[in-house]
Amino acid sequence: MNTARVDPDRLLATFYDLVRIDSPSGEEGALREYLKARLEDMGLATWVDAKGNLLGTLPGRGEPFLLNAHMDGVQPCRGIKPAMRDGVIYSDGSTILGADDRGGIAVILESLACLARGGPAHCAVELAFTVQEEVGLLGAKGLDLSLVRARQGIVLHSHGPAGGIIVATPYHDHLNAAIIGKAAHAGVAPEKGLSAIAVAAEAIARMNLGRIDPETTANIGVIHGGTARNIVPERVELQGEARSRDEAKLERQTEQMVDALTQAAARAGAKVELDVERAYLGYELRPDDALVQKITGAMKRLGIEPRLEATGGGSDANIFHEHGIKVANLSVGYEDVHTTNEHVALSELVKCAQVLVEVLAGSR
Ligand SMILES: [Zn+2]
């Protein structure tokens, strides 16, 4: 095994450096510059693509292996002040911690520090640090694939203790709709109006929402409409979504939501504008898949029990699969992400770095 050189102090210092650099979605430049300098210090070649993603390569033997984490964080994420209590790192409670996904970045940098410049023999490594993951996987969707040769790899972007491997993810539809009724004075001539809000309410009441079955969910997350208390509302806009790890179930679910809208509009004589798009495709990895075997083998050699898990969330991993790059998404140890209680145990980051080193440099 090649884990002896994972250095918890160095890993912690890297993690603190990373979370102290403000990096909201769309403003990843400062973090990218820091990473670029760290990679070049270790002798890696780097590129920045037109979208702002940072790519890098570490030469090695055989087929290249991709490592990915994303550079942006959700709000509130400016002025993060990390501190450790009993081996667990928290923010000061006024911001997120940013372990999602700078924990993943720190783990990648630590594994590279173990392998670059005189470390053990290892496979060729390609890196993709993406922008704007949290706002719709935009960096991964715009990634310059001409800079990526790897056909398999690891995404460091799942919560839970080290050992988790996401092997099933959902297909995901976005639903945008507008209902158009007719404006009228609510006190003088309500009978001349047609309330778009009332039509939307009826449509939503007829939708199947929430958890539909163990692998299917649906939500109406945003509704905007109306202009004044005394005007019958002419226009309402809705933003919703549906997800399922079964593509046919997703199609049925999205259709049910669309039908509820069109039927409610038809009954009332309102118009409806609909825009449905597939945000990303799901993927599944079998337990006997070579990539899964490679990762679970490395974990077992380290005494870490692998856990093959399904998720209801999407990530850059879904986009890599669409691009023909088979990746597994690993747990990085962080918990309560996207909240001010987000935290991560240093010991979990260390285990995760050990897994990466073992995957990249393991002899079997
Ligand atoms: Zn994330």
The closest of 132, 202, 167 to 287, measured between CA atoms, is 167
- Locate tokens 């449905």: which residue? 276
In the reported structure, the alpha carbon of residue 189 is separated from the centroid of ligand 1 by a whole-number distance in angstroms of 50
pLDDT tens-digit map of 138-148: 999 999 999 99
Residues within 5 A (CB) of ion ligand 1: 100-101
* 57 and 152 both lie in a single domain: yes
Give yes or no for a contact between 108 and 56, defined as CB atoms under 8 angstroms apart. Answer: no
Same domain, 146 and 234: no
d(CA 97, ligand 1 centre) in Å: 12
How would DSSP label each residue in 94-113?
SS---HHHHHHHHHHHHHHH
Q: What is the pLDDT, as a whole number, of residue 118? A: 79
Q: Which of helix, strand or coil describes residue 240?
A: strand
Tell me what percent of the residues of the chain surpass a pLDDT of 70: 98
Same domain, 51 and 200: no
- Based on the domain organization, do 161 and 187 belong to the same domain? no
Give mean pLDDT, residues 183-212: 98
Q: Output the domain CATH number for residue 254.
A: 3.30.70.360
Q: pLDDT band at residue 119, thresholds of 50, 70 and 90?
A: confident
Ligand 1 mean position to 157 CA, how many Å? 6
pLDDT value of residue 32: 98
pLDDT digits (tens, 9 = 90+) for 27-70: 999 999 999 999 999 999 999 999 999 999 999 999 999 999 99
Task: Centre a 10 Å sphere on the Cβ of residue 287 and count the other Cβ atoms it contains.
Answer: 11
- From ligand 1's centre to the CA of 337, what distance in Å? 8
Final residue before a domain boundary, out of 280, 311, 329: 280
- Output the average pLDDT for the chain: 96
Per-residue pLDDT of 151-185, as tens digits, reads 999 999 999 999 999 999 999 999 999 999 999 99
In a domain, 222, yes or no: yes
Q: What is the pLDDT of residue 3?
A: 46
CA of 77 to the centre of ligand 1 (A): 13
**Model pLDDT for residues 330-340, shown as the tens digit of each residue:** 999 999 999 99
What is the pLDDT, as a whole number, of residue 117?
A: 76
Same domain for 315 and 195:
no
Same domain, 155 and 196: no
Provide the CB-side half-sphere exposure for 2 (13 A, CA): 24
**Cβ-contact 284, 308 below 8 angstroms:** no
pLDDT at 218 over 70: yes
Measured in Å, residue 99 CA sits from the centre of ligand 1 at 9
| Residue range(s) defining the domain that contains residue 232 | 171-280
Q: What is the CATH number of the domain that holds 351?
A: 3.40.630.10
Percent of the chain with pLDDT over 90: 95
Domain end, chosen from 245, 264, 280, is at 280
* Structural domain includes residue 2: no
The residue type found at 301 is: R
139 and 12 part of one domain:
yes
Catalytic positions, written as ranges:
72, 133
Q: For residues 85 and 158, state if they share a domain.
A: yes
State whether 163 and 179 are in the same domain.
no
**pLDDT tens by residue, 236-293:** 999 999 999 999 999 999 999 999 999 999 999 999 999 999 999 999 999 999 999 9
Instruction: Kindly tell me if the per-residue pLDDT of 132 is higher than 70.
Output: yes
pTM: 0.89
Task: Please indicate, yes or no, if residue 212 is contained in any of the structural domains.
Answer: yes
Q: Tell me how far apart the alpha carbons of residues 156 and 100 are, in angstroms, rounded to a whole number.
A: 9
Is residue 152 a contact partner of residue 65, using CB atoms and an 8 Å limit? yes
Domain count, the chain: 2
198 falls within a domain? yes
Same domain, 304 and 186: no
Q: Which of 260, 280, 300 is the last residue of a domain?
A: 280
